[in-house]
Chain A
Amino acid sequence: MSALQTVCLLAVAVAGTATVLTRDPLRQAVASGGLGLSLAVLFLAFGAPDVALSQIVVAGVAVPVMVLLTLAKIRTDERAGARGEGEEQ
């Protein structure tokens, strides 16, 4: 295993741990995007550019966007719910 591959594996381990240890969902979405991109570099280092491309578009674009949209929807729902209760009182 080359030095580059070792560095990539370590980067994935660090990014994965960081994603797990991040508690705020918003920051976690960004951290998991970073994990996805480090995985893409890992796949490239191991000679799988096709998988790396799929990884970039799924983990770097699709997943963070879905998470962010869901968070935005939950937050506006919560805000609307809190205001609704205030009006009733």
Chain B
Amino acid sequence: MSRRARLVLGLGSLAALAVLAVWAVGGLPDVGHPRGPYADLAPRIMLDERHVTNTVTGVTFDLRGFDTLGEELILFVAALGAAVLLRAQRDERAEEEAAAAEERRGPETTDALRALGAVLVGPVLLLGVYVVAHGALTPGGGFQGGVLLAGALLLVYAAGQVAAVQRVRPVAFVEVADAVGAASYVLLAVGGLVFGVAAMDNFLPLGTAGSLLSGGIVPVLSVAVGVEVTAAVTLILSEFVDQMMLRGSDR
């Protein structure tokens, strides 16, 4: 296809897409006035019946908690798959070379990056724990906080503290944490079956709305997901970093 024909085809498609987009946006309800009853009902249900002030977390871990169970297990399987696929290509000699490559890598990191990483680790860790723990009260929850916590470990790595990373993310521990997080969610779902009337049914005291320990099983589920996500993301990222190191050690 000639350059001119491609240009005509591309601009024509873009123009058609623009017309459709403008038409679609014109038919949207005004911002803050959605159609349907759920936008008004969900916050009331979550506050009255579960004492959860953050409706989004309440919906995620209660009204549609079973979907979240599936999503959590998807991430668990994804981390498992990444570990199985990437580790199959590794042998002991390569591991030794990777360790040597990591040692060589140390001095290449600039002082500014090391300092920035070291300064940011503490605040990001604290923010991650806060976001996980306050999921039922303020915006946030297990998933967001979990990725933040994994990001804090990444900062340790960016700071060039490779030895420190090996200490803070011993693979065996991360794997166990991944499994414990995923299993806790399933056990809490089964707990509803044992102590309540159905799976995912709330069986813990609801507490005072707005206090840290309120909302029944919602904050507990949030922490379980937080542990699982932190471990899964750490596992996936560290497998990729190890792969990169292996290739780097060929030099």
Contacts and interface: CB of A to CB of B under 8 A. Distances in A.
A54 B144 contact: yes
A76 interface: yes
B131 interface: yes
A80 interface: yes
B205 to A, nearest CB: 25
Which label, helix, strand, loop or mixed, suits the secondary structure of the B interface?
helix
Interface residues of A, number: 24
B215 interface: no
A26 interface: no
Interface in B108-147: 131, 139-141, 143-144, 147
- Most B Cβ at <10 Å: residue of A50, A54, A69, A79: A50
A46 B34 CA distance: 13
B203 to A, nearest CB: 25
Interface of A: 1, 5, 46-47, 49-50, 52-54, 56-58, 61-62, 65-66, 69-70, 72-73, 76-77, 79-80
Interface of B: 31-32, 54, 56-57, 131, 139-141, 143-144, 147-148, 150-151, 154, 233, 237, 240-241, 243-244, 247-248, 250-251
